[in-house]
A and B are shown apart, each in its own frame.
Chain A
Amino acid sequence: MRKEMSKTDYIISNDNDSSRSTWKFLLSELKPRGKFLTPFNIISIPVMLLAAIILVYRFWKGLGPVTNLTQEVPWGIWKGFNVITGVAFAGGAYVLTFLVYILNLKKYHSIVRITVLNGFLAYVFYAGALILELGRPWKIFNPVIGNSFGTGSVLFLVAWHFLLYIIAQMIEFSPAIAEWLGAKRARKILSGMTVGAVIFGITLSTLHQSGLGAIFLMAKDKIHPLWYNEFIPIQFFVSSIFAGLSLVIFEGSICKNVFSDQISEKSKKAHNGILIGLSKICTVAMFAYFFLQLLVFVHGKHWDLLNTPMGYWFILEMFGFVLLPMLMFFYSYRRNNIFMIKVASVITMIGVIMNRLNISIIGFNWNGALRYVPTWMEVVVSVAVILAQIWIFRWVISRMPVLRESPSWVNENE
């Protein structure tokens, strides 16, 4: 199947042959590649440096001087946006591994690796954001080791699942690392663990994607009644399906341009077919989600609340950012309109961000006297976390066989 060896494959195999030390290889791989002064770098480096300074200040002086958190609104955008929202977008990984390894749909195989990588990094960085946000982060291992198991806590479950799922995704992605390092034996062992990791990973994802919603179940009196209901866990789970896939669609079209040299012509041609398939899944998941929201709303009997500012906001979210992109996905797979799929994915992503923020921040303590608005420093750190993730993402893609095909020594029958 693969006749050509890409340039890096050649370097790696050459590496092994000439038995240059692995360390030297790793050092050389750490060096930046390509043009340095790209627009992305010029914007992202100052932001990340500024965030680093803010974080030093935050750990020196506490959360108070840096954030706008109050006693009534104890969670700001570092949790509401980076964790609660960010993790939804990592949902693509479990959906795609389900398609490829459980339903054996080979069609999606070419984008599984990049999606798992994205999911893995999302979890690492958003769990990392959690550490910045914890008041006493040096105690973070208390729920993992020792005698402090709060087993009745939803957050305990979510924390454990984060940890285990990061490991599962690491295993799912590890064959790519082995291919990069030219470790043939290790690759064989690691790829043998993939299916186990996938099954474990999907189970964990089901539980902690819904668990993220279940966190808010006890805040019954604090979240706006249009968003609070006992089905939040199911809504979070279903929305993570189309949130994750929308990101896959969006990210795929960016990667296709940015990493154009890495993607084989064959994959490029197959990509549109993949997008059509994903938009079908999105349509169905969004329909289920919309229908569930509708049922919950009708049973909640909050008709009077619709004619309030929060009500308009709710209607906008449901119709403008769930129903509309759902129809667009539906229309575009019927008409093979790839451009519209991409537009729909962006609208869907905005809708998911809206929904998660509406529950965790905007609708939280909605009738309180003081509304929470993040400080500029919170925003900078929030953005920097995402930028740092993109940096690592780019670093991995340009070195490991994520988008490009595996080196030729890899046995086709994984």
Chain B
Amino acid sequence: MSFADYAFRQYLDGDKNAFKIIINEFHDPLIFFINSYVKNVDTAEDIAADCFAELIARPHKFGFKSSLKSYIFSIAHHMAVDHIRKYSRLSLIENESQFVADDDYSTIEESMIKDERSRRLHDALPKLNDNYRTALMLVYFEGMSYAEVAQSMKKSVKQVDNYVTRGKTALKKILAEEGFQYDE
């Protein structure tokens, strides 16, 4: 059981402060993850709050069948995709060029993207299809295992493996087109 899982167990046992630990643990990675979909930090933050609220209001849905991290990223993925579907119809989603990161988000981004190589990868991710992007984000930026990603995406481990492999191939092609040099 991870530290976050343990904290959630304590929260369910009545320790209300334990939820602060969970928020602190997942606040930045969630916003970073959601922002890769919605391209708006405020919206990403709002959806992240929705994810935590879901965890508080409907704790029985979690049931400790997977890790809390898998579960909360699963919620985040679904909410982000729902948001895009909903607002793309209304043409309200802001395109990438309109997005200006504030200082707080820059700090988050810096903590998530350690080097230039990772930044190039991150910037190229939105060009991939949804499943490849989600799998790569969770594996390479959140450090989740294939099994955890599979639980989060509600896919099999084999499918996740395929997504990662094909995602990397597609990413390689995109980066090559952009003139990125990488070591084999």
Q: Do A and B come from one complex?
A: no
Residues on B facing A (Cβ under 8 Å): none
